[in-house]
Amino acid sequence: MAYYMTEATRQNCQDECRLSPNKEATEEDLKRIGVECTKVDFDDAKVKEDLDRLIKQYNMNFHDEVHISRATMPNFDEKLNIFFEEHLHDDAELRVIKHGVGYFDVRGKDEQWIRIPVRRGDFVFLPAGIYHRFTTDRSEDVVALRLFRNNPKWTAYNRNADGDQQSTRQEYLNRIA
């Protein structure tokens, strides 16, 4: 279940960063900013069909797998710095978590960060142009499927650089207005 989070830094971002008292983000809060979450049951024999259905539903045609861990990712700390820097893309970001625990943070309607905890079976759709960031939890071991179309536009435009200048950003803001 998603929740509004505390100010997080690269130092404490792998903790839950919950407000106290906890402030839940509702499905409506997420829908308002174009974020969709659902589940895939990897332990069901039909998982392949489930994934194919999701891929079709979102008009994607490929998926690959990334393993985010110190053992498998060269320059792990540098990669996490990049993942956790607030950014947007020209294409949507679709991920299914296959192993481990991580956090997708997305900017809510009033700019507050909403934290979406993800674990095995969680599917997340982040629309093009939304500001977001990602981190693993302290276990630093996440396997994720990335759904995409041919030639995905995954260049990250950072908010503190040229993110606001991208037409994708304006289009996104118009869509959610």
| Separation of alpha carbons 61 and 148, rounded Å | 6
Residues numbered 79-118 forming contacts with Ni ion, rule: CB under 5 A = 93
Q: CB–CB of 62/148 below 8 Å?
A: yes
My answer on whether omega of the bond before 21 falls inside 30° of 0, hence cis, is: yes
∠ CA 13-119-15, nearest 5°, is 20
Q: Does 134 bind ligand KMT (CB under 6 A)?
A: yes
| Separation of alpha carbons 55 and 47, rounded Å | 12
Q: How far is the CB of 66 from ligand KMT (least distance, A)?
A: 6
Residues numbered 18-77 forming contacts with Ni ion, rule: CB under 5 A = none
- Which residue's beta carbon is nearest to the bound ligand KMT? 144
- Our CB check for Ni ion shows the closer of 17 and 94 to be 94
Binding residue per annotation — 93? yes
Of the candidates 35, 94, 95, 127, which one interacts with ligand KMT according to CB under 6 A? 95
98 binds, among ligand KMT, Ni ion, none (CB under 5 to 8 A by kind): none
Q: Give the burial class of 85: count Cβ atoms within 10 A of its Cβ; 0-12 exposed, 13-18 middle, 19 or more buried.
A: middle
Chain positions contacting ligand KMT, by CB under 6 A: 66, 83, 93, 95, 102, 134, 142, 144
In the annotated binding site, the residues are 87, 89, 93, 132
Q: Which residues bind Ni ion (CB under 5 A)?
A: 93
